[in-house]
A and B are shown apart, each in its own frame.
Chain A
Amino acid sequence: MHGPDIQWYVILAGLLFSIGALGVMLRRNPLIILLSVEIMLNSANLLLIAFSRLHGREDGQIFAISVMAVAASEVVVGLGLIVAMGRRHVELDVDKLRTLRG
């Protein structure tokens, strides 16, 4: 079975990572920022699995599964924070979070 070589995966993962990173940096809604972080983590997962296949070692897949669990943990905490803020009727916009200032 001839499929795309590793370069294709690396480029795809890199693009995905960049999109996610841009999302984190440019978006102001914390929910979308969290989603963008998920994209970043997923891009790393794609890379790990592709390399795992390239090297014929399964530890990359193991790594990827751990990352999924970690990503889920981050989401739990992140959503918990967002809900807590939502309850206090804080506008969900990171640029408008200006309680903390010098």
Chain B
Amino acid sequence: MIDKPHVDWFAISPSLALLIAAGMLLMIAVFVPAGPRRAVAACTGFAGFVAAFVFAVVVDVKSPVATTIVHDSLFRDRWAALAQVLIAGSGAVAVLVSYRERLRDEHIAEYFALLTAAGAGMAFFVQASNLMTLFLGLEWFSIALYVLTAIDIDLIGSLEAGLKYLVVGAFGSATLLFGSALVYGETGQLSFDKIGSYGHGHASMLVVGLAMILVGLAFKASAAPFHMWTPDVYQGAPTPVTAFMASATKIAALVVTYRVLAVAFPQDEHLWRYAIAVIACISLAWGNLAALVQRNVKRILAYSSVSHAGFMLIAVAAASPLGERALMYYLIPYAAMSLGAFAVVAARERELGVPVTLQNLAGFGWERPLLGVSMWIFLLGMLGFPLTGGFIGKFYVFAAAYNHGFWWLIVAGVIATMISAYYYLGVVRAMYFRDAAELQLAPAGGSPPRELLLGLGVLICVAVTVGSFFAVQPLIDVARSAAAALPL
């Protein structure tokens, strides 16, 4: 007779909600006729994300004390719950943006099923509390994302992006796995808590293992120099998928990175702090410099996401309560800005039917004032201008770095921001400054109807981007209570 373990179902309710939605979507794929399928599938997916959002909020409220469930398999704490809130929110907006994406009708339900499954995997991943659930969660959402990237199977570019993502992603997760095995070998433990309480032993295996785990997570966070897949995959994937990847994956990867470091490797803080700081600097330098020469807007945003990974890693490197708050706060506007920016790109792409470049973005700001102004807000936010949460996020990150004596990271961040002004404002320039003769209007046959849902998603992103500038105190309070779950 096997004693069944007690499972705290409530703690995993966000993942479960999304999984149930995914299951229902698979049913919809089979049983609902092609006509209403898109609408039904989108509604189900949206409902799944909203339910996950609500559950995550409730879990966050009801978990003031961090606990683990099922023999250290998963954490139930606010750090994870807040990340789940953000992931579910990103997913819900991604559903809105996806609604009119030109995918095959016979794949639309599977598309939403995979999107919710990816969301469920991320929600699971951020709760992971041992090396096994860490690896499984990573693979869960990664495999869903590989398929989502390639789901537009009629396009070579989409397949190619999927293959690249798969190869690089598998390489990264194998590295993470090998590192996990080394850590397990040194400590004999899988759970983060117990690894954390293991004293210094034969440190070299632990350190190599830690380094390999970091590399594996850095692949997912697309931090340089492990970002080489990012531009290609972001460009080739269907744009709503890119939007979801850019926001939700980054949230999951960074939140987990910090958790693993803080919970499992507190004794090696003096090592990983510098490693992270160096990765942050490389990301800032590489992301921003490479973005300068890009013409394709999705690639520009991809490199910008690399540089934002650098900014957030500065907060990780600070490894202090202030850094934790800074990281959590930064993620909120960042998720909104990158989702929103890709949503606007998706709108333009659907109008033109060709990849969006700086050239054919000309005049977009005047044609579609709402989307244009929104894009402008997102870009300024990424640049770290006031009236957007991006400004406060950068400010917090710098404050965390300074408080920890990493003044040189402030210098790096400031220089990176200076460089980034050129390409962010270059996009604004492309949208607004062209002469009338250069304007490229929608192709003959008229532009497709304005999309209410996409507009709604963009408005939500604008509201979060701008709102997080004004509502700093409540957001910081939430981030503070989330960070209280961590030992550092």
Contacts and interface: CB of A to CB of B under 8 A. Distances in A.
Direct contact of A and B (CB under 8 A): yes
Interface of A: 6, 10, 13, 17, 20-21, 24, 30, 33-34, 37, 40-41, 43-44, 47-48, 50-51, 54-55, 57, 59-60, 62-63, 66-67, 70, 73-74, 77-78, 80-82, 84-85, 88, 90, 94, 97, 99-100, 102
B286 to A, nearest CB: 14
B95 to A, nearest CB: 22
B167 A37 contact: yes
Contacts of B132: 59, 62-63, 66
B355 to A, nearest CB: 10
Name the residue among A24, A90, A97 with the largest chain B CB count within 10 angstroms: A97
Given A51-B188, A85-B160, A37 B177 contact: no
A41 B177 contact: yes
B159 A88 contact: yes
Contacts of B160: 85, 90, 97, 99-100
A37 B170 contact: yes
A81 B178 contact: no
Given A43-B178, A47-B181, A84-B150, A74 B170 contact: yes
Nearest to B231: A102
Given A70-B135, A70-B136, A100-B232, A90 B171 contact: no
B131 A47 contact: no
Contact of A94 (B135, B147, B164): B164
Interface stretch (B77-85, B102-110, B288-296): B288-296
Given A59-B190, A63-B132, A66-B136, A47 B178 contact: yes
Given A74-B143, A74-B166, A51 B184 contact: yes
A54 B185 contact: yes
Interface in B143-184: 143, 146-147, 150, 153, 156-157, 159-164, 166-167, 170-171, 174-175, 177-178, 180-182, 184
Interface residues of B, number: 43
A77 B147 contact: yes
13 contacts: A40-B175, A44-B181, A51-B188, A63-B184, A63-B190, A70-B136, A74-B139, A74-B143, A77-B166, A81-B163, A99-B236, A100-B232, A102-B296
Contacts of B299: 102
Contacts of A94: 163-164, 167
A48 B132 CA distance: 11
A71 to B, nearest CB: 9
Interface string B113-137: 0000000000000000001100110
Contacts of B162: 81
A38 to B, nearest CB: 9
Interface of B: 131-132, 135-136, 139, 143, 146-147, 150, 153, 156-157, 159-164, 166-167, 170-171, 174-175, 177-178, 180-182, 184-185, 188, 190, 205, 231-232, 235-236, 293-296, 299
A102 B234 CA distance: 11
Contacts of B164: 94, 97, 100
A73 B157 CA distance: 23
A13 to B, nearest CB: 8
A85 B295 CA distance: 27
Nearest to B355: A100
Given A41-B174, A51-B188, A77-B166, A90 B147 contact: no
Contacts of A34: 167, 170
Nearest first, the 8 closest Cβ-Cβ pairs linking A and B are A51-B185, A40-B174, A55-B188, A47-B181, A44-B177, A100-B232, A37-B170, A44-B178
B209 to A, nearest CB: 10
Contacts of B295: 102
Contacts of A59: 132, 190
Contacts of A73: 139, 143
B34 to A, nearest CB: 22
Given A24-B167, A40-B174, 9 more contacts: A6-B185, A21-B175, A30-B167, A44-B180, A51-B188, A66-B135, A77-B146, A81-B146, A84-B159
A19 B166 CA distance: 19
Given A47-B181, A51-B185, A85 B143 contact: no
A6 B170 CA distance: 27
